[in-house]
Amino acid sequence: MPTPNWQRSIKRREDWEQAAARLQDGELALLGLWGEPGFAHMALMEQTTDACVVLSVECPANRYPSVGRVHAPAIRPERALRDLVGLEPEGLPDTRPWLRHDGDYRFLPAEGESLHQIPVGPVHAGIIEPGHFRFTANGETVVRLEERLGYAHKGVNALMAGASLERAAALAGRLSGDSTVACSLAFAQAVEAALELEIPPRAAWLRALLAELERLANHLGDIGAVCNDAAFAILHAQFGLLRERVLRAADACFGHRLMMDRVVPGGVSCDLPPDGERRLRALVAQVRKDFPDLIEVYENTASLKDRTVGTGILTPALARQYAAGGFVGRASGRDFDARRTPGYAPYEALHFEVPVVHAGDVNARVWIRIREVEQSLALIEQILARLPPGSLACPDGPRSGRDAGEGAALVEGFRGDIFAWVRITPDGRVERCHLRDPSWFQWPLLEAAIEGNIVADFPLCNKSFNCSYSGHDL
Amino acid sequence: MRRLLFKSFVQGTLTEPAPAPDERALAELAARVSQASHRRLGRALSIREVDAGSCNGCELEIHALGNVLYDLERFGLRFVASPRHADVLLVTGPVSVNMREALERTYRATPDPKWVVACGDCARDGGLYAASPACVGGVSKVLPVDLHIPGCPPTPVVLLRGLLALLESVAADARGGGT
């Protein structure tokens, strides 16, 4: 299996700057940028070979050469690194704080005749997470959207430092509650890479089962929610029902509706109960039966399609520049899925397709989800048919491996690839950990996608992206 | 579309949860919530949800209250878009430092009489984030809390039970001549 080695290497300043230039040229994709006192780190992937590496640069006097200076996707991560660790990126074009909120915040100007501003949030009208959107509009048309995030900042990286593996795993599982399985999986895989742990095959297959159930539940909820934001309530109700059926099946099989804390370093903490296979097969059959009718209604309702087709277009060039993961990237032509590349067990033994379209509008992001629902249903069936017997975790948990080390992982959550990096001390604690939610490289693209659309289409665009606030805000 | 509508028509109402314990809890809640809320507030209790830094797990389950199986509105409980329309603030999260002011302002914008429900283990005392300097550590550090609903996240049935408990305490207040 092409598991990347992720070996971290400390580079000279010039090499770091050269990597930034290669990012600018589009030869590399940025998977994450974070740091610790004395060092800035970034995870990179070669666009042609898919090789993954982690680079570090020493920060004498807490300074390092900014990557965001030449590669815009690094700007927000560098602003966050400045807030959280105090490392100063030299030449960073935007020096406003990001996750730390103190003092006045100046929004970027938009100049011209007849412009007005609309401030929205952090407390929104719906039941959603906190964030601020500053629209500048000309009549109905959005001229500029600027996001201000960080309201859900909980200090996760700082809490991770020094935490036991159990506590760190719990924190990872709550980075973004809707992706609890995927975040836990990313963290667990990073720990296993650090400690050179090999988990039992049954654990890997059960993890994939949980992950596909999570993807299924979220995609079903999202498709309904996009319809709801186009004021088409009946599909929202129908998809909400299907989502609830998935959550109840998850609860019945694994004891938690969102499947929190089921993926742990070294394996899984739950098994499929005796009637679990029957229960999940019934779920798959039910979704298979109901889903096509609902998609037909979505596809054949002109008033609904009128809202989603051509709305909120994200260009393939931007999706590629930002290495946007998940349905955001795949709806704009970026053919990437971490289950396939770099890939992890047991997906190399499973058959699935990665849908890609190029239109980049709300409709395209809905359709990627529709196709992925079908793929996840097929994957769940394959896993149930071939679930290997055996134990659920390494015999001595995470302590089965070596004492200390450093590791990284890239895992496909429902909204895209989640990157995790961890360093473990000889006494079995987390020294440092960084989890990069896919939203880091999707939120900025929402600002681009909404430009020129009407304000009333923002909820629709926003829902079609469905970025995480908590996952991003750390 | 016609087929979907026809199917919805002939299959009857779905708003009865399948598993037996949930069904009992919901049926019991349906009767008790409507009596208690009627006594104090006529037919309705309006809720404004505020995410004060949750992981969004609580929001997912609060959303689920609105699906056809739980159908929150049949109890006379509904979510409103503005604190100015609300009787209850349902607050999630450990209250991040960055959300503190917004939460306080939302509370001030809510007319009296009002009640605050802290939803989830983080909202109770900060939970996993209690030690974080980036979090205030529980809703009660910022606002007077009338009820805590436990869980990580609380399931929809637990949420309903919690809202019922609030209604009962509200009704008891009314009998005692309080607010």
Domain locations in chain A?
Answer: 7-90, 162-473
8 Å CB contact of B55 and A243: no
- Please tell me the distance from the alpha carbon of residue A127 to that of residue A142, in angstroms, as a whole number: 24
8 Å CB contact of B152 and A260: yes
**Contact (Cβ atoms closer than 8 angstroms) between residue A382 and residue A333:** no
Q: A60: pLDDT confidence band, cut at 50, 70 and 90?
A: very high
CATH number of A162-473: 1.10.645.10
Interface of A with B in 128-147 (CB under 8 A): 128-130
- Please tell me the distance from the alpha carbon of residue A219 to that of residue A381, in angstroms, as a whole number: 18
DSSP per-residue codes, B82-131: -GGG-SEEEEESS-BHHHHHHHHHHHHHSPSS-EEEEESHHHHH-GGGTT
8 Å CB contact of B134 and A158: yes
Q: Are strands A39-46 and A52-58 parallel, antiparallel or unpaired?
A: antiparallel
What residues does A413 pair with on adjacent strands? A416
The verdict on A182 touching B (C-beta cutoff 8 Å) is no
Q: What is the mean pLDDT of residues A133-147?
A: 95
Nearest CB to B69 within list A125, A241, A257: A241
8 Å CB contact of A240 and B68: yes
- Please tell me the distance from the alpha carbon of residue A215 to that of residue A355, in angstroms, as a whole number: 14
- Please tell me the distance from the alpha carbon of residue A20 to that of residue A92, in angstroms, as a whole number: 12
* Nearest alpha carbon to residue A238 among A230, A249, A227: A227
The predicted complex's ipTM stands at: 0.94
Amino acid at A425: T
Q: A253: pLDDT confidence band, cut at 50, 70 and 90?
A: very high
DSSP, collapsed to helix, strand or coil, labels residue A445 as helix
Same fold, A7-90 and A162-473: no
Q: A402: pLDDT confidence band, cut at 50, 70 and 90?
A: confident
Helix (H) or strand (E) holding A138: strand A132-138
Q: What is the mean pLDDT of residues A47-52?
A: 86
Q: Tell me how crowded residue A353 is: count the other CB atoms within 10 A of its CB.
A: 12
Q: Which residues contact A211 (CB under 8 A, 6 or more apart)?
A: A181, A182, A185, A411, A412, A413
φ, ψ (nearest 5 deg) of residue B13:
-80, 140
**A184, A187, A259, A272, A400 from A268: Cα distances, Å:** 10, 13, 11, 11, 15
8 Å CB contact of A178 and B49: no
* Nearest alpha carbon to residue A284 among A156, A158, A385, A424: A385
User: Which one is predicted more confidently, A396 or A115?
Assistant: A115
Mean pLDDT by 10 residues, chain B (179 residues): 80 55 39 53 80 97 92 86 94 97 96 91 96 95 90 92 71 50
φ, ψ (nearest 5 deg) of residue A34:
-150, -170
Q: Tell me how crowded residue B104 is: count the other CB atoms within 10 A of its CB.
A: 13
Among B2, B8, B46, B56, pick the best mutation site for testing chain A contact (most A Cβ within 10 A). B56
φ, ψ (nearest 5 deg) of residue A64:
-150, 160
- Does the structure show a pLDDT above 50 at A292? yes
DSSP per-residue codes, A311-359: SS---HHHHHHTT--HHHHHTTT----TIIIII-TTGGGS-------S-
Nearest CB to B96 within list A154, A175, A180: A154
Percentages helix, strand, coil for chain A (3-state, rounded to 5) are 45, 20, 35
At A459 the pLDDT is 94
Tell me which DSSP letter residue A392 carries.
S
At B36 the pLDDT is 56
- Does the structure show a pLDDT above 50 at A276? yes
Q: What is the mean pLDDT of residues A367-372?
A: 98
Name the average pLDDT for chain A.
95
- Please tell me the distance from the alpha carbon of residue A352 to that of residue A377, in angstroms, as a whole number: 10
Q: What is the pLDDT of residues A437-471, one digit of tens each?
A: 999 999 999 999 999 999 999 999 999 999 999 99
Interface of B with A in 31-60 (CB under 8 A): 49-60
The verdict on A158 touching B (C-beta cutoff 8 Å) is yes
What residues does A405 pair with on adjacent strands? A424
Which chain B residues touch A258 with a CB distance below 8 Å?
Answer: 57, 60, 153
- Does the structure show a pLDDT above 70 at A99? yes
Q: A416: pLDDT confidence band, cut at 50, 70 and 90?
A: very high
The matching CATH number, chosen from 3.30.460.80, 3.40.50.2300, 3.40.50.10320, 1.10.287.3510, for A7-90 is: 3.30.460.80
Least confident of A51-65, A108-122, B19-33, B125-139: B19-33
